[in-house]
């Protein structure tokens, strides 16, 4: 919403400052997200200690229900 007038309807990527993007199939995943321009794509990564990160909660169809920062009782890893 902050950049809505600046973007003027164009596609964009929002990367938070404390995130690093890397990993197997990264280019393919980014290309797939780009092809789905009518929707948002949230990238997540399985971690051993989810208490230290933001945790994404998905519904049964894979849509994001919530993102909780550093939860005491994480719903996933």
22-69 pLDDT, tens digit per residue, is 778 888 988 888 887 667 788 888 889 999 988 988 899 888 898 898
pTM of the model: 0.61
Supply the pLDDT for residue 37.
Answer: 67
What pLDDT is stored for residue 18 in this prediction? 67
Q: What residues contact 12, with CB distance under 8 A and at least 6 apart?
A: 3
Query: Which pLDDT score, from 0 to 100, does residue 72 have?
Result: 92
Half-sphere exposure of 40 (CA within 13 A, CB side): 7
Question: What tokens appear for 36 in the block?
Answer: 């789905």
């Amino acid at each position: 919403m902050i950049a809505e007038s600046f973007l003027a309807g164009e596609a964009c990527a929002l990367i938070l400052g404390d995130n690093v993007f890397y990993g197997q199939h990264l280019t393919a995943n980014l290309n797939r997200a780009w092809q789905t321009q009518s929707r948002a794509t949230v990238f997540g990564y399985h971690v051993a200690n989810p208490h230290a990160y933001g945790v994404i909660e998905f519904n049964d169809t894979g849509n994001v229900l919530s993102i909780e920062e550093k939860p005491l009782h994480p719903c996933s890893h």
